[in-house]
Amino acid sequence: MNDPRAVVIGGGPAGLMAAEEIARAGHSVTVIEAKPTLARKFLMAGKSGLNLTREEPADRFLASYSPAWVQRIVAGFGPAEVMEFARGLGVTLFTGSTGRVFPVEMKASPMLRAWTARLTGMGVTVHTRWRWSGFDGAALRFETPEGEVTLTPEVTVFALGGASWPRLGSDAAWVPWLAGKGVEIAPFKPANMGLVLDWSAHMAAHLGQPVKGAALITGTGQSRGEFVLSKRGIEGGGVYTIAAEVREGSPLWLDLLPDLSEAQIAERLTKPRGKASFGNWLRKALRLDPVKLALLNEWGRPLPADPGALAALLKRLPVPHRGPRPLAEAISSAGGIIRASLTDDLELRALPGCFAAGEMLDWEAPTGGYLLTACFATGRHAGRAAAGRLTLSSSR
């Protein structure tokens, strides 16, 4: 087969966006995907409601990304542009009460079908079940159903994902091949993950229940988001917001009554107990629901009798977690190709003509539309740069 001028390896949102930009510039492009179908992680994310992006002030949105260099790329294709892009595919959107933006249908599959149809109409070629297996000199080597194939395109965009959810394709198998070419890659770590906890038997009745109206506190901030007690620990949006800081070693506490001050709680605890049991007295005096009361007993025993000491415990209950859930279970991953290995165009300094996008890059953001927006934005950025390189080559 003839070598295509442009190859995009990885058929997720970043890769498809890169392919669209190259095709829009008038160049032929081939998308290569290892799985039988495109964008499996994208489709999985959409099963619980596809959160595309988030409507909120630009400074707050961008502040959710680290490090700062990725903020500059996202600023070029932020929430307004993501929404315009989705509407251009015929997707009707709505914004929820927290600012999260969803398709009315909630699912990812209608958007993906419309997108792949548009790419096909633009002349984009797609090969599925083709797995990149490294380099053969300057060529790219692929394992395909028809046997090994090597290609030597003028430009390549790598959009192979990070290291979370390996069963969906993000298995970081690419790391040794790029590292062997001189690309520096920060070790992958779990991001947006749950925390491991060992529950006592009395917590069994509460597992699967949400914790509402509480705050998780770290060394530098707090999360008021809801989270869930699972058999293996705690997980959910409230945990994911502070997960990176906890992963890096910050202690974690739970404020069971974030809307009351320590003094207000202590004052309520001075009221006579009467004949009520200690648990019922606490529940009535502080309006603690059964889940919060169970957590206080799980992590705070022996409970202090002094109202001031008990109030302090309720405001800063230590969470005895054993660290993050494994990388393979994380929603996303931190780590990847470091900024120093990339030009401003996301071209790999060690491999001229090769670009990278999406979760392969060393950046991190919470869930809630931030992850997908950055994948779209970095894919667009790399795709435009690759297209520019092809256009310059054609003009010579």
Instruction: Enumerate domains of the chain plus CATH numbers.
Output: 6-190+330-395 (3.50.50.60), 195-318 (no CATH)
Helix residue ranges per DSSP H, 274-342: 278-286, 290-300, 307-315
What is the mean predicted confidence (pLDDT) over 263-268? 94
pLDDT at 1 over 60: no
Average pLDDT, whole number, for the chain?
94
Check residues 344 and 272 and name the one with the higher pLDDT. 344
Q: What is the pLDDT of residue 221?
A: 87
Question: Using 50, 70 and 90 to split pLDDT, how confident is the model at 311?
Answer: very high
E strand residue ranges, 212-366? 215-217, 222-223, 227-230, 233-235, 253-255, 317-318, 332-337, 354-356
pLDDT at 115 over 70: yes
Nearest to 331 by CA among 246, 244, 225: 244
What is the mean predicted confidence (pLDDT) over 320-347? 96
pLDDT at 225 over 70: yes
What is the mean predicted confidence (pLDDT) over 348-366? 97
Lowest mean pLDDT among 113-117, 141-145, 189-193, 389-393: 389-393
The C-alpha angle with vertex 240 and arms to 362 and 247, in degrees rounded to 5, equals 60
pLDDT at 32 over 70: yes
Q: What is the pLDDT of residue 396?
A: 66
**Contact call for residues 11 and 373 (beta carbons, < 8 A):** no
pLDDT at 155 over 60: yes
Question: Using 50, 70 and 90 to split pLDDT, how confident is the model at 343?
Answer: very high
Strands 253-255 and 215-217: antiparallel
